[in-house]
Structure 1
Amino acid sequence: MKNKTLVIGASLKQERYSYLAVNKLVSHGFEVVALGLKTGVVAGIAIDTELKLYENVHTVTLYINPSVQKMYYDYILDLKPQRVIFNPGTENPELYKILEENNILYEVACTLVLLSTNQY
């Protein structure tokens, strides 16, 4: 199993990019945990609605807008990921600064593109 990724903003809706990301991460052999507004299962991964302190999260990939991200700042820091990916529409200079101050790398990129081009 490859490094663990937390998808924040996971959705059961097949047209959502977070849904596609969970599927693609699983198909590429990554360990995936998911956090969303509704419980359910995507690609065999249960979507949690509670903020769980998952262990050994390497990457957090965001699918929530910057105004919603504020309530996750401390949670993300508590997970101590090695990096955070800001997918299109999630760009947040305020959070970039917080991550930098906590020595957490971040990328403004698309998880789906990174996986498709073997750059994940």
Structure 2
Amino acid sequence: MKTLVIGATTNKERYAYKAIHNLVGKSHQVVAIGAKKGMALDITIETEKIPFKGVDTVTLYINPTVQREYYDYIISLHPRRVIFNPGTENPEFYTLLDENNILYEVACTLVLLATNQY
């Protein structure tokens, strides 16, 4: 399963970085987009909306206002689900995802991984 982390960062203190670390630790394939290019472990953080193939899950670490510029992009990837981590909740986007038959969860990626519910 491939996971796209949006809001990725090289800052080891941030939850997006910790999510990448834990996903890799559980042998998930990870791709990442962030505000700045860089590396999180051995994952390249891209700044462009690359049309990644085979994305199963998109996990969000960007606020609802910033999410607007990603709506069409995320929908175009046809992921199975989108995870809205704490602080990213967005009813406007939930509606669009529902209309495109994409599941979403309001959950914490770190907790899902830690409890084997990912």
Q: TM-score, normalised by structure 1?
A: 0.97
Unaligned runs of 5+ in 2: none
What SS does structure 2 have at the residue aligned with 1:71? helix
Superposition pairs of residues 14-29 of structure 1, within 5 angstroms: 14-29=12-27
Superposed CA RMSD in Å reads: 0.4
| 1:108 maps to 2:112 | no
* CA shift digits 1:80-112 (9 cap, x unpaired): 000000000000000000000000000000000
* CA shift digits 1:41-63 (9 cap, x unpaired): 11210000011000000000000
Residue in 1 that maps onto 2:71? 73
Instruction: Tell me the CA shift for residue 14 of structure 1.
Output: 1.0
Superposition pairs of residues 1-120 of structure 1, within 5 angstroms: 3-120=1-118
Q: Which amino acid aligns with 2:46?
A: D
Q: TM-score, normalised by structure 2?
A: 0.99
Alpha-carbon separation, structure 1, partners of 2:23 and 2:116: 11
Q: Which amino acid aligns with 1:11?
A: T
What SS does structure 2 have at the residue aligned with 1:34? strand
Alpha-carbon separation, structure 2, partners of 1:63 and 1:80: 19
Unaligned runs of 5+ in 1: none
What SS does structure 2 have at the residue aligned with 1:22? helix
Runs (4+) of structure 1 exceeding 2 A deviation are none
**Percent of aligned pairs sharing the same letter:** 64
